[in-house]
Structure 1
């Protein structure tokens, strides 16, 4: 353990590039060359070997030239906690495998719910935002279907209910739609900027291909609340069922936050489950300068927060939070060898968290967050998030002042979309430069930048999540982008000249 820490410390101190810059075929050959069937080589040699193979070829998120994806440098106390939880090997699915670990995770869930405004809420730690979003939509599906079934039962008995679902049930049991029929009517409403996990969840939940309805956005890429209301009315008119609305607090590409307060009002009026995907932006709850951007989040039914993004935690560290603890009921499945139903009914029942999780065996990832909060304090973490958001604002202003760069929109968080647009190149050529620049820089190891497409046009993307990165650091990356772009254009000019000369 000590030798690994010493080796890693040295690598963190001396890393000169964001990535190894080694050719993929060479990396594949190095991996394939390891004989996994041979006799063991011993601890020291095995650790030296993985240091050479893995650490020497890692992508370093702490390096100032890494500005690509939503990967953060991690808080050192969380790394120490990671070693502790891995060595003890706790599983927090049942209390008899975890004891105090379950209680600590429950405390963190209650703490997070308190900051969200979820009095009486509940939650569970997950592997990441994709799993959190999947479970939120699973719970929405099951609770909506249960509500439809209850309403149908009431209709059969001739009872009335002022709080009936937006759509009535059939008049007789024999006329009832099957579960498959009901599934085909369910709709999820989200913008085209919502995370891809929303569409993946719809597929995994057995919904139809047209289940995800795209809600228009305003000019900044935020969900248009009036368009959302119109979409809900259209769904109603077509005898479909709105299963959930997914608002995004921090879109992956634009880094903007949907108008949560207004959206919540629309959802409450329509009696529709509102899920807020705050995987990226959830940390703003603790950011002194920007917490107001999440106004209205406490009116959501469920919320996703990724602590391994804006709380600087090692992956994995995500959580799904639910405003009403009773909505977790569809997840519960009892097994005698794990969480017997009879024991669950006891007055002093053990808190078995497998009742609320899609996972059975589950790491005690909450320990990392707990340790970081105690070491650094939530206020300091929030200030660090404000720092990276301020950096994005400064970088955007820097780019807007340079004639050979084009900037798209303004982020609420820490992303910046831009393009290299020299006066000598037309728009089509600038489009072609985007993936080429990214690829050249990544393969050289000099900088890691992301790319995306907005409205059919490619853009380079900076995702700034390192509070130690400065404007000067990002300026150096932009200089590399500019030099690389000019180098590609010069190579094309030379190739064209050679071709013309050969033809002549």
Structure 2
């Protein structure tokens, strides 16, 4: 099995699914695509190319409770297999629960297809959201989130003291805030050692003040950086400006 990711948790990166699928088909390997975070891009005509080639996957995971903002928990595992794979994998065939001599088609009984057996009707959450908003409005949510991410990215590039980690592919905008006291330092280990301590202090201050709650973390050998994830359709350019202004206000004395 080969696992490709469409929207990584930290950076929002997308694997080249077409190229990976070529290799999997050549060697007869099962291709699974983890699209739990990035799968919503398929709804957008503007951004669905991020998942180009996903139709070639043998299985796909998607979490509507992320970008689609359905209530927790709402997850989907989709397979191209036509041999009732879920039942083959998960069925316990418990005779005290699942009698076969019923008047209806027992293949509709989902209890013996899932690990949980008894479970909440999680699929109802995305069904209701889809019926209420329709595909076009769900696509607008995705488009707006990516537009706000691009706006924030451009603002970071134009502000003194802010440094972008990388160009975002999705709505994960990762960046550093460099206080005035560190801006004279060259790009050297001393800078990154000191910068590693900045984001945790600002995060503590913003939470105690009650103004923001933005995650931070290191990645490999990179010092702690802010990881701004944009999802809500209600955020505006003014909100994006406030994020940067507040971080600067809380961290300029460090």
TM exceeding 0.5: yes
Out of 407, 419, 424, the position equivalent to 2:164 is: 407
Map 1:299-448 onto structure 2 (within 5 A). 299-326=56-83, 327-328=85-86, 329-340=88-99, 342-343=100-101, 348-425=105-182, 426=185, 427=191, 428-448=193-213
Quick one: distance in 1 between partners of 2:94 and 2:140?
45
| Secondary structure of the structure 1 residue equivalent to 2:65 | helix
Alignment check: 8 A CA contact 1:288 1:383 kept: no
| Secondary structure of the structure 2 residue equivalent to 1:275 | strand
Quick one: distance in 2 between partners of 1:372 and 1:333?
32
Aligned residues: 243
Task: Give the match for residue 12 of structure 2.
Answer: 255
1:343 CA drift (Å): 4.0
The answer on 1:467 being equivalent to 2:239 is no
1:316 CA drift (Å): 0.8
Map 1:30-49 onto structure 2 (within 5 A). none
Alignment check: 8 A CA contact 2:180 2:252 kept: no
Task: Give the match for residue 220 of structure 2.
Answer: 455
Structure 1 runs of 4+ with >4 Å offset? none
RMSD: 1.7
Structure showing greater Rg: 1
Alignment check: 8 A CA contact 1:434 1:451 kept: yes
- The one-character-per-residue Cα deviations of 1:466-496 (angstroms, maximum 9, x if unpaired) are 1111121121121111111123x2xxxxxxx
| Secondary structure of the structure 2 residue equivalent to 1:279 | coil
The answer on 1:266 being equivalent to 2:48 is no
Quick one: distance in 2 between partners of 1:392 and 1:350?
44
| Secondary structure of the structure 1 residue equivalent to 2:218 | strand
Out of 29, 48, 53, the position equivalent to 1:296 is: 53
Quick one: distance in 2 between partners of 1:410 and 1:289?
18
- The one-character-per-residue Cα deviations of 1:191-211 (angstroms, maximum 9, x if unpaired) are xxxxxxxxxxxxxxxxxxxxx
Q: Which runs of 5+ in 1 are unaligned?
A: 1-243, 490-504
Alignment check: 8 A CA contact 2:67 2:231 kept: yes
1:294 CA drift (Å): 1.0
Q: Which has the higher contact order (CA 8 A, sep 6+)?
A: 1
Quick one: distance in 2 between partners of 1:348 and 1:463?
44
1:391 CA drift (Å): 0.7
